[in-house]
Amino acid sequence: MSYKSMSSEELNAELENLKREYQGICEENITLNMARGKPGADQLELSMPMLDVINSSSDITSVDGVDCRNYGVLDGVPEAKKLMADMMNTDPNNVIVFGNASLNIMHDNIARAYTHGVNGSTPWCKLDTVKWLCPVPGYDRHFKITEHFGFEMINIPMDENGPDMDMVEELVANDDSIKGIWCVPKYSNPTGTSYSDEVVKRFANLRPKANDFRIYWDNAYAIHHLYDEADSQDEILSILDECEKAGNPNLVYEFCSTSKITFPGAGIAALGTSKENKDYIIKMMQVQTIGHDKINQLRHAWFFKDFGGLKSHMQKHGELIRAKFETVLNVLEEELAPCEIATWTKPNGGYFISLNVENGCAKKVVNMCKEAGLVLTGAGATYPYGNDPDDSNIRIAPTYVTAEELKEATHILAVCTKIATLEK
Amino acid sequence: MSYKSMSSEELNAELENLKREYQGICEENITLNMARGKPGADQLELSMPMLDVINSSSDITSVDGVDCRNYGVLDGVPEAKKLMADMMNTDPNNVIVFGNASLNIMHDNIARAYTHGVNGSTPWCKLDTVKWLCPVPGYDRHFKITEHFGFEMINIPMDENGPDMDMVEELVANDDSIKGIWCVPKYSNPTGTSYSDEVVKRFANLRPKANDFRIYWDNAYAIHHLYDEADSQDEILSILDECEKAGNPNLVYEFCSTSKITFPGAGIAALGTSKENKDYIIKMMQVQTIGHDKINQLRHAWFFKDFGGLKSHMQKHGELIRAKFETVLNVLEEELAPCEIATWTKPNGGYFISLNVENGCAKKVVNMCKEAGLVLTGAGATYPYGNDPDDSNIRIAPTYVTAEELKEATHILAVCTKIATLEK
C-alpha cells in the first residue's frame, strides 16, 4: 500500500515493524558485497577453456608472421585488432589493442593530453582551467580520473535517450576550456540507458570551441545483453562512423575491453579512433612501451575465433546474469513498488540497476545496509566528487553474489529504503 | 698488424682489399638485424612449459585466497611479489608487481611526478626546468622518456666501476632542478659494467638538494649471467638496503622484469621501493587501474616455484647466449685487435657488447653495415638526444641472430670498421 495514502498512525506502526525486522537482520551477521560490477564465479568459468588454446606446443605466430613471444607490435596483433574492431563496429585500422584494462587507456590518454596536448595543442597542464562534462549518474572511476587531474567537472543530466544534448551543445560551443565528456553510450553505468540515434548523431556533429575537445566513448557494455531476443537488445549507432560522416573524424576516442567477457584483469582492451588521432597516440606510446601482451591478445582471438564466437559467448553470460537482474527487480517490485517511494531502471544489458530513493535518503539507506552487513556502492559515487546533489541515487550491482544471496540483499535494501523514507 | 705501424702504401693496399671485400658482401643481399636486445627463438623455447601451468582445470586462487580471474589486487599477488622481491634482493612488502614491462613503469612514474609531483612535491610540469643525469653510454629508451618530457639531460661519464660519482654528488648537491638519474647498475646497457660496492654506497648516501630527486635503478639484468661460475658472475649491493642504512629510504625506485627471462611482452614487471614511496604510488595508481594481469603473475610464480627455479632457468639462458657473445668477441679479437683501431667490452652478463671505434667513425660504420644488409642500433643511440659527442660508440646485440649469422655479421662489422678508420 502506498505510503502516501497511509495515516500517520499506520506509518508509525509500519516503521516500528520495519525497525524490528532490521534489528533481526543485523543480528544475523550477514556479509554481502554488491559494491562493484564484478562477474560471478559462474561467469568466469565460461572462459576457462581459453586457458588451453595456447600451450607449450603452440606455434605462437600471428597471421602476419610475427613471433608473438618476442618484443614488438605496438598497436596489437591483427587477429586481436579485428576482434576488437568488430566489437566497436569499426575498421581494424582504427584500432590499437592494449593490455588488460580500458580504464588504464582512458587514464593514460588524459595523462598524455595533460602533459603533451592533443595532436599538437597546448598541454593541458599549461592551462589555468580544464573543464569536463559528466553525464550523471555515471561511472565513479571516470570521475576519479578527471578529479585526479584537477579538472572542473560539470554535471549533465541524463534522460532515457542519453545526456541532455541541448546543454552539451551549448557548453562545448562556447567554452574552450571544456576538453572532454565521459560517455557510456550503451547500457550506461549505472542507469542502463542506451543513447538514441539522435543523441549519437548530435554528439558526432558537435562543434566544440576547443579543437582539443574529445568525446570519451566508453563502450564498456557493447555486447553485454541480458536477453537473446533482438527486440530486447539495445543497439546504438557507430560513433566513429557518424563522426566520419559529420566531417568530425578526430572528435572521439572509443574504448572497449574483454574485462566482463573473459577475465577482469586478464582480458584485453582497445581504443578505436581516427587515423590522425591514432598516429599521434602511437607516437607518444612508443616512448612508454615496446608493446602489450601479444600472447594474451592471441589467446583471446583464437578462443573466440571471430565476432560470432564472441557474441555466442556473451549469450551464455546473459543466461547466467539475467536471472540475477530479475531477482532484484522482482523484490523491488514486490516490496517497494506498492509503497511508491522509489523508482528504478529495468535495463536490457550492462551490469547495473539504478535505484532512486526519495531525495536526502540515499546515504542513509547505504549506511543502514552496511551496518546490516550488505556493502553497496557508496551513495554519491555515481556523481562527480562523490556528491549526489539530491542524495537519491543508489547503484545496484547484481552479478557478483549468488541468486539466493541476491534475494536477501535486495530485501535488506528494501527494508532500509522504507525505514529511511519513513524516518524522513 | 697494427695500422699504426703500417706505411701509407700498405694502408692504401689494405683499404683497396677491404673495399673489394665490402663490395662482395653488399652483392650477397644479406639481411641481418642486431639492432635490439631481443632473445633468440631458442631462449623463448625455454619458457614454453610455462604456458601449461595454468589451464582450464586450474584453481586460479592465490595463497591469500583471492580468485585471480576477477578484479582487484593493486600491488600484485603475493607469490609474484615474493619472486620479484627475491630478484631485487628485498622484501615483498617493498614491491608492486605490474603488467608486462618495466619501461612502462618507469615512464608512468615520471609521468606521475610530472603531473602530480613526488610524495607531495610541486608537479614537475609547474617547474621551468627539470634536469636529469644520464650515465653514458646508456639505454636509448631511458633517454627517450626524459627527452619526451622535455628534461635537460646531462651526460655522466662511466668507468669500470659505474658512473663518475664525484660529478653526480656535486651536481645533485647543488642544483635542485636535477630530479633524477638513470642507472642500469648490473651488466649495464650497453657496456656490461656492474657498479662497484663503493659506487652503490655513494648512490645511497647522496644528499640531493631536491627532495623529489630519485634514482631510477633499472635492474634489468639482475640475474642475467653468461657464466655459471661464481667468480664469473657480477654481484652488486642491494640499493634498497643501502638507502635504508644511509637514512635515505625514499631515494630510489628499483625496477625489474621477466622480459628477458620468459617472454618479452608477455612477462611481468615490478617496482621495489620504500613504504612511503610505495604508498604514494599506490594512491595514484588507484585512479589508473583496478589491477594488473594476476593470472600471468601466478603463471610466472607457479612456473618458477621459487627464486632457485628462476636462477636455474637463467643458467639455461646463459648456456644459449654465451656462445654468441664469444663468437662476437672472437671475431673482434681476430680481425680488429691486431689493427689497434677499436676497443670493446667483455661482459659477464647482460645483453650487449659495447664497441668503441675511433672518434668520428661510428656513424659511418653503422651506415656502411646497413648498406651491406646488417642493421645495428643507430650510432649515437646510446647517448641522450642520439648525440654521441665522440661519434665512437656502437652497441652490439648478439642474442637475436643465430650463431652462424653472428660470425658473418661481426665480420661485416669488422670490415666496415676498418674501412671507416682507414678512410678517415
**Residue B82 exposure: Cα atoms within 13 Å on the Cβ side:** 16
Measured CA to CA in angstroms, residue A187 lies from A253, A401, B58, B81, B336 at distances of 18, 20, 33, 37, 68
Contact A101 B290 (CB under 8 A): yes
Contact B293 A71 (CB under 8 A): no
Q: β-pairing, B95-97 with A252-257?
A: unpaired
Q: Are B264 and A79 in contact (CB under 8 A)?
A: no
Nearest-neighbour CA in chain B from A333: distance (Å): 31
3-state secondary structure at position B59: coil
Summarised one tens digit per residue, pLDDT across range A113-126 is 999 999 999 999 99
Q: Are B145 and B130 in contact (CB under 8 A)?
A: no
Q: β-pairing, B162-163 with B178-183?
A: unpaired
> In whole angstroms, what is the distance from residue B223 CA to residue A71 CA?
20
The pLDDT assigned to A415 comes to: 98
Question: Which chain A residues contact residue B69 at CB under 8 A?
Answer: 44, 47, 263-266
Nearest residue of B to residue A113, measured between CA atoms: B115
Question: Which chain A residues contact residue B101 at CB under 8 A?
Answer: 289-290
Q: Are A95 and A277 in contact (CB under 8 A)?
A: no
What would the mean pLDDT of A125-136 be, rounded to a whole number?
98
Contact B103 A52 (CB under 8 A): no
Report whether pLDDT(A1) > 90.
no
> In whole angstroms, what is the distance from residue A321 CA to residue A224 CA?
10
Report whether pLDDT(A109) > 90.
yes
Nearest-neighbour CA in chain B from A75: distance (Å): 13
Q: Are B355 and B344 in contact (CB under 8 A)?
A: yes
How many C-beta neighbours within 10 Å does residue B169 have?
16
Contact B266 A290 (CB under 8 A): no
Contact A263 B70 (CB under 8 A): yes
Task: Report the alpha-carbon angle A259-A90-A164, nearest 5.
Answer: 75
Beta bridge partners of B99: none
Q: CB neighbours of A136 closer than 8 A, spacing ≥ 6?
A: A155, A156, A157, A158, A382, A383, A384
The answer to whether the Cα torsion of B202, B205, B210, B216 is positive or negative is positive
Question: Which chain A residues contact residue B57 at CB under 8 A?
Answer: 48
For B276, list phi and psi in degrees, rounded to 5: -65, -45
Name the DSSP class of B151. Answer: P
Output the average pLDDT for chain B. Answer: 97
Residue A138 is placed in which grid cell? 555515471
Q: Comparing C-alpha atoms, which of A219, A224, A286, A283 is closest to residue A257?
A: A219
Sheet holding A353-357, edge to edge: A342-344, A353-357, A393-396
Summarised one tens digit per residue, pLDDT across range A44-63 is 999 999 999 999 999 999 99
Nearest residue of B to residue A72, measured between CA atoms: B265
Which of B293, B297, B298, B303 best tests the A interface by mutation, with the highest count of A CBs <10 A? B293
Which of A107, A124, A288 best tests the B interface by mutation, with the highest count of B CBs <10 A? A288
Nearest-neighbour CA in chain A from B415: distance (Å): 30
Summarised one tens digit per residue, pLDDT across range A204-233 is 999 999 999 999 999 999 999 999 999 999
Q: Comparing C-alpha atoms, which of B179, B241, B176 is closest to residue B204?
A: B241
Q: Are A46 and A53 in contact (CB under 8 A)?
A: no
For B163, list phi and psi in degrees, rounded to 5: -65, 155
Q: Are B203 and B242 in contact (CB under 8 A)?
A: yes
Burial class (CB in 10 A: 0-12, 13-18, 19+), A411: middle
SS3 labels along B236-280? CCCHHHHHHHCCCHHHEEEEEECCCCCCCCCCCEEEECCHHHHHH
The four Cα atoms A244, A246, A249, A251 give a dihedral, to 10 degrees, of: -140
Q: Give average pLDDT by consecutive 10-residue segment, chain B, 424 residues.
A: 93 97 96 92 98 98 98 97 97 97 98 98 98 98 98 97 98 98 98 98 98 98 96 97 98 98 97 98 97 98 98 97 96 97 98 98 98 96 97 96 93 98 94
Question: Which chain A residues contact residue B265 at CB under 8 A?
Answer: 68-73, 290-295
Nearest residue of A to residue B74, measured between CA atoms: A265
Beta bridge partners of A269: A257
The pLDDT assigned to A121 comes to: 98
Residue type for position B161 = N
The answer to whether the Cα torsion of B12, B16, B17, B19 is positive or negative is positive
Contact B265 A55 (CB under 8 A): no
How many C-beta neighbours within 10 Å does residue A1 have?
10
For B239, list phi and psi in degrees, rounded to 5: -65, -35
Nearest-neighbour CA in chain A from B119: distance (Å): 15
Question: Which chain B residues contact residue A39 at CB under 8 A?
Answer: 70
Beta bridge partners of B374: B32
Nearest-neighbour CA in chain B from A15: distance (Å): 39
The pLDDT assigned to A175 comes to: 98
> In whole angstroms, what is the distance from residue B313 CA to residue B298 CA?
17
Number of CB pairs, chain A paired with chain B, less than 8 A apart: 168
**Kind and range of the H or E element at A33?**
strand A32-34
Q: Comparing C-alpha atoms, which of A116, A298, A279 is closest to residue A212?
A: A116
Buried residues in B320-335 as b, exposed as e (16+ CB within 10 A): bbbebbbbbbebbeeb
The pLDDT assigned to A40 comes to: 95
Summarised one tens digit per residue, pLDDT across range A266-322 is 999 999 999 999 999 999 999 999 999 999 999 999 999 999 999 999 999 999 999
Q: Closest CB to A144: pick one of B56, B126, B287.
A: B287
Provide, rounded to the nearest whole percent, the portion of chain A with pLDDT above 70. Answer: 100
Q: Are B294 and B62 in contact (CB under 8 A)?
A: yes
Measured CA to CA in angstroms, residue A136 lies from A200, A384, B109, B211 at distances of 17, 8, 32, 41
Over its C-alpha atoms, chain A yields an Rg (Å, rounded) of 23
Output the average pLDDT for chain A. Answer: 97
> In whole angstroms, what is the distance from residue B282 CA to residue A412 CA?
34
Q: Are B90 and B241 in contact (CB under 8 A)?
A: yes
User: What number of residues does chain A have?
Assistant: 424
Contact B264 A115 (CB under 8 A): no
Q: Comparing C-alpha atoms, which of A321, A319, A328 is closest to residue A395?
A: A328
> In whole angstroms, what is the distance from residue A287 CA to residue A223 CA?
33
Looking up cell 560470432 gives: A308
**Kind and range of the H or E element at A154?**
strand A152-159
Summarised one tens digit per residue, pLDDT across range B201-235 is 999 999 999 999 999 999 999 999 999 999 999 99
What would the mean pLDDT of A248-277 be, rounded to a whole number?
98
- DSSP letters, A287-332, are HH-S---HHHHHHHHHHH-SHHHHHHHHHHHHHHHHHHHHHHHHHI
Nearest-neighbour CA in chain A from B349: distance (Å): 20
Nearest-neighbour CA in chain A from B355: distance (Å): 24
Say what the pTM is. 0.97
Name the DSSP class of A384. Answer: G
Summarised one tens digit per residue, pLDDT across range A80-92 is 999 999 999 999 9
> In whole angstroms, what is the distance from residue B266 CA to residue A241 CA?
33
Looking up cell 550503451 gives: A186
Report whether pLDDT(A403) > 90.
no
> In whole angstroms, what is the distance from residue B131 CA to residue B209 CA?
13
Q: Are A294 and A73 in contact (CB under 8 A)?
A: yes
> In whole angstroms, what is the distance from residue B254 CA to residue B275 CA?
13
